[in-house]
Amino acid sequence: MARLPHIQDAFQRFMLAGDTSIAAHVVGSERVPVETRLAIYGDGYRLRLIEALQNTYPVLAGLLGETDFNVLAGQYVAGHASTFFSIRFYGEQLAEFLAADAEYGRAPVLAELARWEWAMAAVFDAADAEPIGVGALAAIAPEEWSELSFEWIPAAQVVELEWNVPALWKSVTEEGERPEPALAERQAQWLLWRRDLQIYFRQLAGDEAVAIAAMRGGSSFGELCDLLCQHLDEERASLRAATLLRGWVESGLIAQVNLPP
Give the per-residue pLDDT at 90: 92
Q: Which tens digits make up the pLDDT trace of 243-252?
A: 999 999 999 9
> For 215-242, what is each residue's pLDDT tens digit?
999 999 999 999 999 888 889 999 999 9
Computed over every residue of the chain, the mean pLDDT equals 87
Q: How confident is the model at residue 92 (pLDDT cuts 50, 70, 90)?
A: very high
129-261 CATH pick, 3.50.50.60, 3.90.930.50, 3.30.559.10, 3.90.1150.10: 3.90.930.50
Q: What is the tens place of the pLDDT at every residue in 28-63?
A: 566 656 566 655 555 567 888 999 999 999 999 999
Q: What is the pLDDT of residue 198?
A: 93
Give the residue extent of every domain in the chain.
1-125, 129-261
Residue 175 confidence (pLDDT) above 60: yes
pTM: 0.83
pLDDT of residue 127: 94
Q: What is the DSSP string of the chain?
A: ---HHHHHHHHHHHHHH--GGGGGG----SSS-HHHHHHHHHHHHHHHHHHHHHHH-HHHHHHH-HHHHHHHHHHHHHH----SSSGGGTTTTHHHHHHHSTTGGGSHHHHHHHHHHHHHHHHHHSPP-PPP-HHHHHTS-GGGGGG-EEEEPSSEEEEEEEE-HHHHHHHHHTT-PPPPP-EEEEEEEEEEEEETTEEEEEEPPHHHHHHHHHHHTT--HHHHHHHHTTTS-HHHHHHHHHHHHHHHHHTT-EEEEE---
